[in-house]
């Protein structure tokens, strides 16, 4: 090994270390591009540290390595508990992707701050977000196979997780990464439709319920616990002023039980302002996300899974891009939980409100780095008759959280 090569490696190591604090150069981003599009743009345009050192202008196509992180100082209050103050790494992922040929592409994304262990249906850890291979059949058709994001629709789901400071109740409990296959047909330049089939869960539903000590004797395991989803992504007018992400899904939960989910997401993009509106509805013959069941098991003092639960979510996010490097945002959420066939609970027995606001500062336009300050407020309210009967279970309460920190999508190679 010659001296020049050794010095180059030493310099590379030093720069990798320093860039975790002082970012390197790349290409400036359009401020109205949403978070997922920003990540895709960085994959295509930012040169890796290694290429910067060698002075190469070529883009990495076959291998891209990203370290995705969100961390900071967290202050949180919950009900009557003492305020919790701590430093927190809320997101840490390794994202590897590339295009092996003009037609073959792949992606692996692994959560580094989640315990790893295989589930009993797909034999993968829930720490593995994605692990898939895809093939483009020309300009119109593509096929993906492996673990991937389920095409639930809506814009909250579409954002990269590092940019979502608080998910809605339904997205927090649904589970969004499953093994399956997606066929995409691009029927115009800015419109495509996805047909997706995949596992409903990462592990068998009966096993999921058994872990929580719930009664499962009245349920039979499905021989085909699959989800079937149609998802439409559209864009209209100049600069994609109007975008849509709509989907409909049918999932086989257990033998004879099929749930249905609808997502309607619409977004307005203006030069200095963006507004996304999502409506989500899920009807579960057996309470798959277990949110309603948390209350029925306490109220009836049993371990029986709730039946015929309905969840509705209304989500709004507004972003104002003021000045060159600053973004102000506000996100509002209104969600309801219903058990219409239960006379004690009925419709909308639980209502939750969410209000998230904050500012983001991008000091280096050539790097996907943000400094942020956010406030997350939640309010949970229950039917008066339930509160009167069991205030220990159905007492209204609020939560508050402040988070000051940094988001950095580091392109290591």
Tell me: pLDDT of 87 over 50.
yes
pLDDT tier at 212, thresholds 50, 70, 90: low
155, containing H or E segment: helix 155-158
Tell me: pLDDT of 29 over 50.
no
Tell me: pLDDT of 227 over 90.
yes
3-state SS, residue 74: strand
pLDDT tier at 55, thresholds 50, 70, 90: very low
Tell me: pLDDT of 64 over 80.
yes
The mean pLDDT of the chain is: 84
Least trusted range by pLDDT, from 162-166, 203-207, 250-254: 203-207
Tens digit of each residue's pLDDT (9 = 90 or more) over 94-123:
999 999 999 999 999 999 988 877 777 788
Tell me: pLDDT of 165 over 90.
yes
Mark residue 11 as left, alpha or beta (left: phi above 0; alpha: psi -120 to 50; beta: remaining).
alpha
Decide: 312 and 281 in contact? Cβ < 8 Å.
yes
- Tell me what pLDDT residue 314 has: 97
Please tell me which residue, 366 or 28, carries the higher pLDDT value: 366
In percent, the amount of the chain with pLDDT more than 70 equals 83
Lookup: tokens for 280: 């989500």
For residues 159-188, average pLDDT: 91
Lookup: tokens for 241: 């002023």
Name residues whose C-beta falls within 8 Å of residue 120's C-beta, 6 or more positions apart in sequence: 203, 204, 207
pTM: 0.82
pLDDT tier at 32, thresholds 50, 70, 90: very low
Please tell me which residue, 317 or 49, carries the higher pLDDT value: 317
The total of other beta-carbon atoms located within 10 Å of residue 364's CB is 15
In percent, the amount of the chain with pLDDT more than 90 equals 61
- Note down the domain range covering 105: 3-411
- Tell me what pLDDT residue 208 has: 67
- The CATH number that applies at residue 48 is 2.40.160.10
- Tell me what pLDDT residue 40 has: 45
Name residues whose C-beta falls within 8 Å of residue 101's C-beta, 6 or more positions apart in sequence: none
Cα gap 372→35, rounded to integer Å? 14
Tens digit of each residue's pLDDT (9 = 90 or more) over 301-339:
998 899 999 999 999 999 999 888 999 999 999 999 999
CB burial readout 14-25, b (16+ within 10 A) else e: eebeebeeebbe
Cα gap 330→85, rounded to integer Å? 24
Least trusted range by pLDDT, from 40-54, 92-106, 238-252: 40-54
Tell me: pLDDT of 57 over 90.
no
- Tell me what pLDDT residue 255 has: 85
193, containing H or E segment: strand 191-199
Cα gap 308→327, rounded to integer Å? 41
Tell me: pLDDT of 401 over 70.
yes
Lookup: tokens for 341: 């066939």
- Tell me what pLDDT residue 175 has: 81
For residues 280-284, average pLDDT: 96
For residues 125-131, average pLDDT: 90
For residues 382-387, average pLDDT: 95
Lookup: tokens for 180: 């399956």
- Tell me what pLDDT residue 56 has: 41
The total of other beta-carbon atoms located within 10 Å of residue 326's CB is 13
Count of domains in the chain? 1
- Tell me what pLDDT residue 210 has: 60
């Amino acid at each position: 090994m010659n001296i020049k090569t050794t010095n180059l490696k030493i310099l590379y190591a030093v720069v990798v270390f320093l860039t975790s604090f002082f970012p390197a150069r790349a290409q400036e981003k359009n401020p109205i591009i949403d978070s997922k599009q920003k990540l895709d743009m960085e994959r295509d345009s930012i040169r890796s540290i290694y290429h910067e050192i060698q002075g190469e202008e070529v883009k990495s196509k076959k291998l891209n390595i990203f370290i995705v992180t969100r961390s900071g100082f967290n202050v949180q209050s919950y009900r009557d508990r003492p305020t919790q103050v701590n430093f927190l790494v809320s997101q840490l992922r390794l994202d590897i992707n590339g295009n092996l040929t003009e037609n073959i592409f792949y992606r692996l994304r692994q959560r580094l701050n989640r315990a790893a262990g295989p589930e009993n249906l797909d034999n993968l850890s829930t720490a593995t977000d994605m692990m898939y291979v895809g093939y483009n059949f020309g300009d119109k058709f593509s096929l993906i196979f492996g673990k991937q994001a389920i095409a639930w629709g809506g814009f909250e789901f579409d954002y990269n997780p590092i940019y979502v400071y608080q998910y809605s109740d339904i997205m927090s409990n649904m589970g969004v990464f499953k093994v399956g296959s997606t066929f995409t047909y691009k029927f115009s330049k800015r419109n495509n439709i996805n047909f997706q089939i995949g596992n409903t869960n990462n592990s068998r539903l009966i096993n999921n319920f058994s872990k929580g000590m719930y009664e499962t004797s009245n349920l039979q395991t499905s021989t085909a616990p699959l989800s079937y989803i149609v998802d439409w992504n559209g864009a209209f007018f100049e600069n994609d002023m109007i975008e849509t992400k709509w989907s409909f899904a049918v999932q086989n939960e257990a033998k004879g039980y099929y749930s249905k989910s609808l997502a309607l997401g619409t977004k307005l993009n203006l030069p200095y302002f963006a507004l996304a509106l999502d409506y989500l509805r899920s009807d579960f013959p057996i309470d798959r996300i277990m949110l309603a069941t948390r209350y029925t098991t306490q109220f009836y003092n049993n371990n029986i899974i709730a039946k015929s639960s309905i969840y509705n979510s209304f989500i709004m996010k507004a972003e104002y891009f003021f000045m060159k490097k600053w973004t102000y945002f506000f996100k509002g959420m209104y969600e309801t939980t219903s058990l219409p066939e239960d006379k004690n609970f009925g419709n909308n027995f639980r209502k939750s409100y969410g209000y998230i606001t904050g500012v983001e500062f991008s000091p280096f336009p050539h790097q996907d780095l943000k400094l942020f300050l956010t406030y997350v407020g939640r309010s949970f309210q229950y039917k008066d008759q339930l509160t009167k009967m069991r205030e220990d279970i159905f007492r209204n309460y609020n939560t508050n959280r402040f988070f000051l920190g940094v988001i950095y999508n580091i392109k290591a190679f």
